[in-house]
């Protein structure tokens, strides 16, 4: 793989509102090597707009650009989504401009980010030393013999040769007799110019001309050059999974398993790292307390909803009973016309057969008793007749 400079320019993120982040303050972090991470300034809104350009050093072994979207909103801080872009496409074409799909922390789709990438390979100039002095002088222009002077090394000045300095007097001016006999003038050594350690700022000779101060979060504001708006998000030109750069695939999942979640305290330099270290304990405690409070509020809300539904149901039943039966609101009273509707059998229908049998038995028993009484009465009459003395009426004859 070639080595060189990769220019990373994110423009916007789409799909945050559809994934529960209608209100957020995200920034975009990127890195090719975990030892060199960069970030943009944070932006607000469901479709935040970014105006930063980041420059990354690409080594010969680097093959993937990692992109993370992190929320700086105090209510929901943390990683929102991430993706990877294979650098092979950028190496071949030299640039890349497209919507790249994001994956959430659970692996599900999480919107898209529109990025612009530009790669410039390192220039290897044959015939030059590492200090910038040419090993051989170029041929003289127009056939005229010219003497080449090697430039001084950066941060160090040697005494110039006296004979070479005399040539500056011109061919018509004779050399003074006492030239070079005096004491050499003093030359002050200059200290090398120091540059900031933030890799987001270009070194001398780079193409970055941004002179604005670094952002509060550790990044730097890009130039005010107006970017062309990305294509509409409703029809993103994203290829099928596995073909477009950054599409989550088996390779991307393996990358996720291999690498841990980036430590975003490194983004923005020492200022951001110090602030994160100081507030880490308070932030964790705040997160735990907030989660417990949310659970308690959720449970209390469910209980209140259940009580409200129960009260509403009882009130509705009472209104129905009142409208149907007037003032009779006995909950155990079941009108006859609703017995079958509610599935409650009527008493006379439930014991109809038993009632008939009992009634028949009572009638039979009553008939037997009446018959028995008649028989007893008849027996008594017969017995009385037998016991009655016979009357001798012969004397009356």
Q: Which of 1, 3, 7 shows the shortest CA–CA distance to 208?
A: 7
Q: Are 179 and 163 in contact (CB under 8 A)?
A: no
Overall average pLDDT of the 150-167 stretch: 40
How many Å apart are CA 253 and CA 269, to the nearest integer?
29
Overall average pLDDT of the 106-129 stretch: 81
Q: Are 237 and 9 in contact (CB under 8 A)?
A: no
How many Å apart are CA 65 and CA 34, to the nearest integer?
10
Please give the pLDDT value at position 343.
58
Beta bridge partners of 121: 4
How many Å apart are CA 238 and CA 64, to the nearest integer?
18
Q: Is the pLDDT of residue 285 over 80?
A: no
Half-sphere exposure of 269 (CA within 13 A, CB side): 15
Confidence band (pLDDT; 50, 70, 90) for 387? Answer: confident
- Spatial neighbors of 189 by CB under 8 A, at least 6 apart, are 155, 156, 157
Q: Are 71 and 80 in contact (CB under 8 A)?
A: yes
How many Å apart are CA 217 and CA 324, to the nearest integer?
70
Mean of the per-residue pLDDT values of the chain: 69
* Tens digit of each residue's pLDDT (9 = 90 or more) over 313-339: 888 888 887 777 665 556 666 666 665
Beta bridge partners of 99: 114
Confidence band (pLDDT; 50, 70, 90) for 66? Answer: very high
Phi, psi at residue 53, to the nearest 5°?
Answer: -125, 125
Q: Are 84 and 246 in contact (CB under 8 A)?
A: yes
Q: How far apart are the first and last CA of the chain?
A: 168
Question: What's the token pair of residue 252?
Answer: 């991307």
Q: Which of 356, 267, 324 shows the shortest CA–CA distance to 72?
A: 267
- Spatial neighbors of 13 by CB under 8 A, at least 6 apart, are 26, 28, 47, 48, 69, 102, 111, 112, 113, 114
Q: Are 111 and 22 in contact (CB under 8 A)?
A: no
- Tell me how many degrees the CA angle 200-205-206 measures, rounded to the nearest 5: 35
Considering the four listed CATH numbers 3.40.50.2300, 3.40.250.10, 2.60.40.150, 3.30.420.480, the one that applies to the domain covering 4-122+198-263 is 2.60.40.150
Q: Which of 127-136, 256-265, 364-373 has the lowest mean pLDDT?
A: 127-136
Domain ranges of the chain: 4-122+198-263, 268-333, 338-367
Q: Is the pLDDT of residue 16 over 70?
A: yes
> 396 or 24: whose pLDDT is higher?
24
Overall average pLDDT of the 147-164 stretch: 40
How many Å apart are CA 69 and CA 261, to the nearest integer?
12
Q: Are 67 and 99 in contact (CB under 8 A)?
A: no
Please give the pLDDT value at position 115.
95
Residue 49 DSSP class = B
How many Å apart are CA 155 and CA 153, to the nearest integer?
6
Q: Is the pLDDT of residue 36 over 80?
A: yes
Please give the pLDDT value at position 114.
96
CA distances from 115 to 86, 110, 286 (A): 13, 16, 34
Overall average pLDDT of the 58-67 stretch: 91
Overall average pLDDT of the 301-307 stretch: 91
Confidence band (pLDDT; 50, 70, 90) for 390? Answer: low
Q: Is the pLDDT of residue 141 over 90?
A: no
Please give the pLDDT value at position 257.
53
- Spatial neighbors of 273 by CB under 8 A, at least 6 apart, are 265, 266
Q: Is the pLDDT of residue 362 over 60?
A: yes
Q: Which of 58, 65, 124, 69 shows the shortest CA–CA distance to 96?
A: 65
Q: Is the pLDDT of residue 205 over 80?
A: no
The radius of gyration of the chain's CA atoms, rounded to the nearest angstrom, is 51
How many Å apart are CA 114 and CA 101, to the nearest integer?
9
- Spatial neighbors of 379 by CB under 8 A, at least 6 apart, are none
């Amino acid at each position: 793989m070639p080595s060189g400079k990769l220019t990373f320019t994110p423009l916007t993120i789409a799909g945050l509102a559809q994934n529960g982040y209608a209100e957020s303050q995200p920034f975009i972090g990127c890195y090719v090597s975990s030892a060199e991470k960069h970030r943009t300034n944070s932006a607000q809104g469901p479709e935040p707009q970014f105006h930063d350009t980041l420059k990354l050093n690409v080594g010969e072994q680097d093959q993937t650009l990692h992109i993370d979207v992190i929320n700086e909103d105090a209510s929901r801080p943390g990683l929102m989504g991430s993706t990877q872009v294979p650098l092979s496409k950028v190496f071949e074409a030299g640039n890349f401009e497209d919507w790249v799909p994001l994956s959430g922390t659970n692996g599900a789709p999480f919107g898209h980010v529109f990025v612009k990438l530009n790669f410039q390979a390192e220039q290897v100039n044959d015939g030059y030393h590492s200090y910038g002095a040419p090993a051989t002088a170029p041929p003289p222009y127009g056939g005229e013999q010219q003497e080449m002077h090697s430039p001084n090394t950066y941060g160090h000045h040697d005494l110039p040769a006296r004979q070479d300095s005399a040539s500056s007097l011109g061919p018509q001016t004779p050399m003074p007799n006492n030239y070079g006999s005096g004491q050499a003038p003093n030359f002050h050594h200059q200290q090398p110019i120091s540059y900031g350690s933030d890799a987001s700022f270009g070194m001398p000779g780079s193409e970055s001309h941004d002179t604005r101060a670094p952002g509060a979060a550790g990044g730097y504001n890009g130039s005010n050059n107006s970017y062309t708006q990305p294509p509409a998000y409703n029809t993103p030109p994203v290829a099928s999974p596995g073909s477009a750069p950054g599409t989550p695939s088996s390779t991307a999942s393996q990358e996720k398993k291999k690498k841990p979640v980036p430590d975003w305290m490194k983004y923005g330099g020492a200022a951001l790292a110090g602030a994160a270290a100081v507030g880490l304990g308070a932030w964790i405690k705040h997160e735990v307390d907030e989660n417990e409070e949310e659970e308690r509020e959720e449970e209390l809300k469910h209980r209140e909803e259940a009580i409200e539904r129960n009260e509403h149901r009882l009130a509705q039943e009472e209104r129905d009973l009142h409208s149907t039966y007037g003032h009779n609101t006995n909950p155990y009273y079941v009108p006859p016309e609703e017995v079958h509707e509610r599935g409650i059998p009527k008493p006379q229908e439930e014991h109809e057969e038993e009632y008939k049998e009992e009634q028949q038995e009572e009638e039979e028993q009553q008939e037997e008793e009446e018959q028995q009484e008649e028989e007893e009465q008849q027996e008594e009459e017969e017995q009385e007749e037998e016991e009655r003395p016979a009357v001798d009426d012969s004397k009356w004859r």
